[in-house]
Amino acid sequence: MQQLESSLIWQPEESREKIITALNYILEDGRPPRQFSLPATPDMLPDMDLRMYIDQGVWIISTVYTYLAYTDDYSILDEECSYYVASDDNSYIVRKSDIRDTVLDHMLRIMDFLIRNLDTEMGTNCLRALYGDWNDAIDGLGRTTDKGRDFGSGVSVMASLQLMQNFREMSDILRHTGTHTEKIAEYDELSNKLVAGLEKYAIDTNEAGERRVIHGWGDKISYKLGSWNDPDGTARLSTTSHSFWVLTGMTERDPSMKDVVMKAFDAVVSDYGLKTFDKAFPMSIRDKAGRICTITPGTYENAAAYVHASMFAIMALFTLGESRRAWDETEKSVVISHENCTKTAFAMPNSYCRTEEYDIDGDSMGDWYTGSGTVLIKELVKFGFGICPDLDALTLQTPAVMPCTNAEISLTVKGHPICVKYTDTGAGKRRFVIDGKEALGEFSPLMNTQKLRIPTDLLSDGTVIEVID
| Residue 57 main-chain phi, psi, to 5 deg | -70, -35
CA 318, 320, 321, 322 torsion-angle sign: negative
437 forms beta bridges with 434
Output the pLDDT for position 346.
60
- In 142-268, where does DSSP find H-type helix? 157-177, 182-201, 239-247, 250-253, 257-267
Burial of 189 (0-12, 13-18, 19+ CB in 10 A): exposed
User: How far apart are alpha carbons 158 and 317 in whole angstroms?
Assistant: 17
pLDDT given for residue 168 in this prediction: 98
Instruction: Give me the pLDDT at residue 345, please.
Output: 63
Q: CA dist 419 to 12, 31, 458, 460, 462, Å?
A: 17, 39, 14, 11, 7
* Beta strand ranges found along 364-423 (DSSP E): 387-389, 393-396, 406-413, 416-423
211-238 burial, b if ≥16 CB within 10 A, otherwise e?
A: bbbbbbbbbeeebbbbbbebbeebbbbb
- Residues 59, 323: Cα–Cα separation, whole Å: 26
pLDDT value at residue 247: 97
Q: How far apart are CA 343 and CA 347, in angstroms?
A: 8
Check if the beta carbon of residue 450 is closer than 8 Å to that of residue 428. no
**422: phi then psi, degrees, rounded to nearest 5:** -115, 135
DSSP of 259-282, one letter per residue? HHHHHHHHHT--TTS--SBSSPPP
Written as one letter, the residue type at 371 is G
Angstrom distance (rounded) from CA 290 to CA 267: 23
42 close to 58: Cβ distance less than 8 angstroms: no
57/170 Cα distance (integer angstroms): 12
Instruction: Look at residue 340 in the predicted model and tell me its pLDDT.
Output: 82
Residues 6+ apart with CB under 8 A from 54: 114, 117, 127, 128, 129, 130, 131, 132, 133, 142, 156, 159
Specify the amino acid at residue 284.
Answer: S
Using alpha carbons, list the distances in angstroms from residue 398 to 255, 381, 448: 21, 9, 10
Query: What is the three-class DSSP state of 378?
Result: helix
Q: CA 423: distance to chain centroid?
A: 30
Per-residue pLDDT, 343: 76
What is the mean pLDDT for each group of 10 consecutive residues in the chain (469 residues)?
Answer: 95 98 97 94 92 94 98 98 94 95 98 98 97 88 94 97 98 97 97 98 98 98 98 97 97 96 98 96 96 94 93 97 97 86 74 89 80 91 97 97 96 96 95 96 96 96 97
How far is the C-alpha of 139 from the C-alpha of 287, rounded, in Å? 10
The pTM of the full predicted model, rounded to 2 decimals, is 0.96
CA dist., res. 469 & res. 146, Å (int): 61
